[in-house]
Amino acid sequence: MSENHQIKSIVIAGGGTAGWMAAAKLSQHFAKTDITITVVESSAIGTVGVGEATIPTLRRFYQSLGMSDMDVMRKTSATVKLGIEFKDWYKQDSSFIHPFGLFGHEANGIRFHHYWLKLQALGDKSLLEEYSLGIAMARANKFTFPAENPSSPLSVFDWALHFDASKFAELMRDYALAHRVRHVDAKIESIQLNSANGFIQSLALDNQQTLTGDLFIDCTGFNGLLINGALKTGFIDWSQWLLCDRALAVQSELVGEPAVRTVSMAHPAGWQWKIPLQHRQGNGHVYASQFMDESEAETILLQHIDGKVLHTPRKFSFTAGRRAQAWNKNCIAIGLAAGFLEPLESTSIALIETGIEKICGSFPVPYFNQQNCDYFNEVTATEWERIRDFIILHYKANQRTDSEFWQYCRAMPVPDTLQQKMDAYQARGELLHFPWEIFHPDSWLAIYNGFHCYPDQYDKNVERLNPDYLQQSLAAMRNSIAAAVADLPGHQEFINQHCKAEWV
């Protein structure tokens, strides 16, 4: 049995999205203890300041702090996100949507897409996306709350937000400060280690203060000042599969109604995001520097923005990968300090949430030992690898012929875990779902189908169904989705009615 380390004080280094989310949740988790929590951040250094698209788990996170969707939307100038539209990814002039929600209904223990594949074999020409309410709403730019009654056609989708990341961090900060969290605005100049066990002992600040702690949460961003700078934890590099290593980000005026989806548009050496808020639009070009230089990347970005650009583009450099150990000694890395996966599926903030949840789960008692640390690291590594594989699939499955970048991605070998999934889908339409996956099998289906990857065969148990009955049932399903969407309010109308930001 390894030694227990008592915690009486927690120091969170960094006050970006990760730092303040951690502070808010940990203040709630440790509310009934006398454990102190301090956030130290440097306003002179600032935050990364991007990260505006989320997935639905974010809503569960702030709801667990007692915040409502409409209040958060109002305070962060948020719009609704029903999924991501991938333009030109499969081929040029193509489009598909990855929705937060299901395709059709599973029946007799058989996933819906097998019924749809059987219908295709019978000569039907309906598209899989016609069976997704989330996609139908996204294409029509409409929105309403999901119905609570599971038998309603309006119950089968989920939603997330596009929000102003700095306003969201402020919300988290306000919650934390109202719940006993102490805040120090100063720069960390050096980190002292305990000479006996190598644990972090204290942080020396540029205001001459020294912060001691028993547990340190490293939220200092890409550099990972504590986890890497002090503890030399190391990094697992995934750039052989995820080639994009640069981004240019710029805000623009919003033109027309905000889209109820993120748009991701493929370019010759990467892709561009469009994220609408209530008062502006976020844009960014993520690209591989070995295939495109910065000036070309900037020209392409600016060419594809409709509204007036509000400042010169900001530049980011990164390497895809994760920290070798997210928890090392008495330091846990959260956010960019823990690693980076490009924002293609908006997973960074989701990984912040799961990291914080795991910290809470590790402390039902105010001490930890090596077993806690090993389990945390094992689960974290698995979560990151599952998302990594999902993102790689978007590149691997492309059929573009216009550039060396896309041809390289199509030909590259992929991790075994991804190959196993792709093989199972190709052979028998099976959507393997591994433990610690953030993305539901229907998300994988959306990507396979969007890239026109079709299985060699469907589940033969669907043959038991009478073909006429199958045809009628699926036609009824399509009609009920189309009818449900026809009556819904537009996205802007929904915002005006429920959550218009005060300053817009």
Q: How far is the CB of 189 from ligand FAD (least distance, A)?
A: 7
Residues numbered 462-481 forming contacts with ligand FAD, rule: CB under 6 A: none
Cα torsion 223, 229, 230, 235: sign? positive
Q: How far apart are CA 371 and CA 380, in angstroms?
A: 14
Q: For 4-76, where are the alpha helices, taking DSSP H only?
A: 17-29, 57-63, 69-76
349 lines the binding site for ligand FAD (CB under 6 A): yes
The rounded distance, in Å, linking the Cα atoms of 384 and 439 is 12
Among the listed ranges 37-45, 81-89, 90-98, 130-138, the one in contact with ligand FAD (CB under 6 A) is 37-45
What is the footprint of ligand FAD within residues 155-194 (CB under 6 A)? 165, 187-188
- Single residue of 249, 373, 393, 446 touching ligand FAD by CB under 6 A: 249
Q: Which of residues 109-148 bind ligand FAD (CB under 6 A)?
A: none
Q: Is 316 in the site for ligand FAD (CB under 6 A)?
A: yes
Strand, coil or helix: 28: helix
Binding-site member from 348, 354, 380, 449 for ligand FAD (CB under 6 A): 348
Looking at 10-18, 292-300, 373-381, 394-402, which segment touches ligand FAD (CB under 6 A)?
Answer: 10-18
Residue 101 lies near ligand FAD (rule: CB under 6 A): no
Is 32 a known active-site residue? Answer: no
Least Å from the CB of residue 322 to ligand FAD: 13
Q: Which stretch binds ligand FAD (CB under 6 A): 61-69, 150-158, 333-341, 388-396?
A: 333-341
Nearer to ligand FAD, 281 or 346 (CB): 346
Residue 214 structure tokens: 């028993």
* Closest approach of ligand FAD to the CB of residue 221, in Å: 3
> With CB under 6 A, what is the number of residues at the site for ligand FAD?
36
Nearer CB in complex with ligand FAD: 325/449: 325
In 200-269, DSSP assigns E strands to 200-205, 210-212, 215-218, 235-237, 246-252, 262-267
> In the complex with ligand FAD, which residue's Cβ is closer, 263 or 488?
263
Q: Does 276 sit near ligand FAD (CB under 6 A)?
A: no
- From 252-260, 341-349, 366-374, 429-437, span contacting ligand FAD (CB under 6 A): 341-349
Q: Is 362 in the site for ligand FAD (CB under 6 A)?
A: no
Q: Closer CB to ligand FAD, residue 81 or residue 329?
A: 81
408 binds ligand FAD (CB under 6 A): no
Handedness of CA 413, 415, 420, 422 (dihedral sign): negative
Stretch that binds ligand FAD, among 297-305, 334-342, 406-414, 441-449 (CB under 6 A): 334-342
* 73 forms part of the interface with ligand FAD (CB under 6 A): no
> 203 Cβ partners below 8 Å, 6+ apart?
11, 13, 40, 188, 190, 191, 192, 210, 211, 213, 216, 226
Q: Does 336 engage in binding with ligand FAD (CB under 6 A)? A: yes
d(CA 445, CA 104) in angstroms, rounded, equals 12
Q: Which of 221, 258, 441, 450 lies at the binding interface for ligand FAD (CB under 6 A)?
A: 221
Site track for ligand FAD across 250-269, x = CB under 6 A: --------------------
Task: Mark residue 325 as left, alpha or beta (left: phi above 0; alpha: psi -120 to 50; beta: remaining).
Answer: beta
Give the integer Cα–Cα distance in Å for 22 and 28. 10
Q: Which residues of 317-341 are buried (b: 16+ CB within 10 A; e: fewer)?
A: ebebbbbbbbbbbbbbbbbbbbbbb
Q: Cβ 214 to ligand FAD, closest distance in Å?
A: 19
Which CB sits closer to ligand FAD, 314 or 428?
314
Minimum gap (Å) between residue 287 Cβ and ligand FAD:
11
> Least Å distance between CB 366 and ligand FAD?
25
Distance in angstroms between the alpha carbons of the first and the last residue of the chain: 58
125 φ, ψ (degrees, to nearest 5): -110, 10
For residues 40 to 69, the per-residue mask of contacts with ligand FAD, x marking binding by CB under 6 A and - elsewhere, is: xxx--xxxx-xxxxx---------------
Among 83, 101, 213, 284, binds ligand FAD (CB under 6 A): 284
Contacts of residue 23, Cβ cutoff 8 Å, sequence gap at least 6: 12, 37, 39, 172, 173, 176, 181
Q: Which of 81, 142, 358, 396 is catalytic?
A: 81
| Closer to ligand FAD by Cβ: residue 41 or 389 | 41
Please tell me the total number of residues recorded for the chain in this structure.
Answer: 504
Instruction: Determine if residue 429 is left, alpha or beta; phi over 0 gives left, psi from -120 to 50 gives alpha, anything else beta.
Output: left
Which is nearer to ligand FAD, 138 or 154 (by Cβ)? 138
CB-count exposure of residue 122 (10 Å: 0-12, 13-18, 19+)? exposed
Among 76, 220, 228, 354, contact with ligand FAD (rule: CB under 6 A):
220
**Are the C-beta atoms of 358 and 379 separated by less than 8 Å?**
yes
Distances (CA, A) of 106 to 221, 334, 441, 504: 42, 37, 12, 42
DSSP state of 311: S
Mark residue 163 as left, alpha or beta (left: phi above 0; alpha: psi -120 to 50; beta: remaining): beta
Helices (H), 152-226: 165-177
* 14 touching ligand FAD, by CB under 6 A: yes
Question: Coil, strand or helix: which one is 107?
Answer: strand
Q: Which residues are catalytic?
A: 81
Residues that bind ligand FAD (CB under 6 A): 14-19, 40-42, 45-48, 50-54, 165, 187-188, 219-221, 225, 247, 249, 284, 316, 335-337, 343, 346, 348-349
